[in-house]
Amino acid sequence: MAIARWMYDNCIYFNAVNSVYYQRMIDVVATAGPGYKGPSYHAVRVPLLRDQTKEVQLLVNSQCRHWAEVKCTLMADGWTNTRHRSLINFLVYCPRRMDMGNMPHVDNLKKRASKVTVFIYNHVVLIAWLRNRPSWTDIVRPGVTRFPTTFLSFGSIHVHKHDLQALVISKFFVDNRLARESKAKEVVAIILDNSFWDDINVLVKISLPLIRLLRIVDSD
């Protein structure tokens, strides 16, 4: 009860008891036994705070040696919320690979998707066949920046998965001389590759919330 009363008297948030240091503190006091004198106002404010700062700095320094390798650094963003409570966000900043579209796996997927769209749009007969399908709309969709353009295209191409697969297995396409071209065979392999569609599906789910945010910010 003494601990609870101390918390109530000093308006300490109840969540403080969930701290990993809460039970450790009690164990140390219990080990010291009755009559243990807690640190004074000055001790907590000056020497103990200084010692804890040094301890944290040592922890940060232990990570510094990895920064040159991973190209990341730690950042702290201090602010005050609407209830006038001071908060500090700790972030990891990395100037490289900030564009998800530049990640090797995504970049490779983007190139494969581009081969499909370029091949389709370079041949009027293929576009004409697709436009006869009730659900067909253009694959390439414009965006304000390169990021939404890329991922909107992923979303659009994913919507037309069955249209594209229907095209490449249709008698119209198989009997066409285009089907015998090396580029056509490569495109057919991509369109009939289930892993290609699975990867696009994952990217669409990841990027959709970001695209919605960009639309709000850019009024796209």
State yes or no: pLDDT of 144 exceeds 50: no
> Is residue 114 over pLDDT 70?
yes
- Burial (0-12, 13-18, 19+ Cβ within 10 Å), 126: buried
d(CA 138, CA 165): 16
Contact 93, 77 (CB under 8 A): no
| pLDDT exceeds 70 at position 98 | no
26 vs 73: CA distance, rounded Å? 35
Split at pLDDT 50, 70, 90, the class of 100 is low
> Which is higher by pLDDT, 139 or 174?
174
Kind of pairing between the strands at 73-80 and 86-93: antiparallel
Out of 20-24, 91-95, 197-201, 204-208, least confident range: 91-95
For residue 213, name the pLDDT band (cuts at 50, 70, 90).
low
pLDDT in tens, 165-198: 999 999 999 998 888 889 999 999 999 999 999 9
Which one, of 97, 96, 170, 106, lies nearest residue 133 by Cα? Answer: 170
Residue 119 has pLDDT above 50, yes or no: yes
pLDDT at 143: 43
For the cut 90, the answer to whether the pLDDT of residue 46 exceeds it is yes
Residue boundaries of the structural domains of the chain = 100-218
Q: The pTM is what?
A: 0.49
Residue 216's Cα: distance from chain center in Å? 18
Tokens, residue 200: 């696009």
